Amino acid sequence: MSVFEQLQQVLTSSDAEKEANWGEISSFYDICFPSDYMNFLARYGSGEIEEMLAVFRPTSGTDPCARRTSRLPADVLDLPEVNEWSDPRQAELYEPADVMVWGETVEADVLGWITTSGTPDEWPVAVYTHGGEWTIFDCTMTEFLLKLLTGAFEKNPTGIPLFGNGSAHFTVE
């Protein structure tokens, strides 16, 4: 059983969003997105898991207030605390500008990918815990969500109590 199929067993949803125009979106962002993320959005859409973790959709719009997949804003990149890493070796390999944000939590944790590592399907997940540091997880977005919900990480990678719940519900925004 694939990771995505396993995730569908623990993450329920009553709705799904329309397919995105990935050609237009890739052109706008000047990158291709991971296939598991595109599959996730086709099945679930953008929205929230138990009102605690939001998953964003990329859009070709320019509304600065819209919650969408994006790079970290310039004013955030200028903050010195945003360049803190749990593993000092990662600070030598990555910069916050390498992160494409795909989600956030109610505790202000930032969820994204390091987009300078291999192909989109190989991008590791990066998590910035509020007031803390970046931690890299060598897994896809859907693997990250599955491990979060099933408690398969050594410890909770976020500040939210979804860790190890075993199941959750996704609500489309």
**Domain presence at residue 125:** yes
pLDDT of residue 18: 64
Please state the domain count of the chain: 1
Please report, for the domain that includes residue 116, its CATH number. Answer: 3.40.1580
pTM of the model: 0.92
pLDDT of residue 48: 94
**Domain presence at residue 168:** no
Q: State which amino acid sits at residue 145.
A: L
**Domain presence at residue 89:** yes
Unique residue bearing structure tokens 């990678």 = 157
pLDDT tens digit string along 22-73?
888 889 889 999 999 999 999 998 999 999 999 999 887 666 666 778 888 8
Cα–Cα distances (Å) from 79 to 17, 29, 76, in that order, read 35, 24, 5
**Domain presence at residue 173:** no
Cα–Cα distance for residue pair 70/125, rounded to 1 Å: 14
Cα–Cα distance for residue pair 111/105, rounded to 1 Å: 8
**Domain presence at residue 170:** no
Domain of residue 30 covers: 3-160
**Domain presence at residue 53:** yes
**Domain presence at residue 167:** no
Cα–Cα distance for residue pair 135/124, rounded to 1 Å: 10
**Domain presence at residue 65:** yes
